[in-house]
Amino acid sequence: MINSVRILAVELDGKDGVFVTFSDGTTAGYVVEELLELRPKRELTKPPVDYSN
């Protein structure tokens, strides 16, 4: 059986980067440009509705 690697934690690194910790014990750093290349098809989203008012 193949064990899939999962994301365990994500930490901000300044204004334009993140550190990602994976379940296989590795860590990787990404900047915004790299993340955009990983997912070239972006989708429009709507901000969450705040019903607490």
Which residue type occupies 18?
A: V
Give pLDDT, residue 15. Answer: 87
pLDDT digits (tens, 9 = 90+) for 1-53: 577 999 999 999 988 899 999 999 999 998 988 877 776 566 777 887 888 76
Provide the greatest CA pair distance for the chain.
49
Both tokens of 36, joined, read 């955009």
CA 28, 33, 36, 38 torsion-angle sign: negative
CB 31 within 8 A of CB 38: no
Give pLDDT, residue 40. Answer: 59
Q: How far apart are CA 11 and CA 2, in angstroms?
A: 27
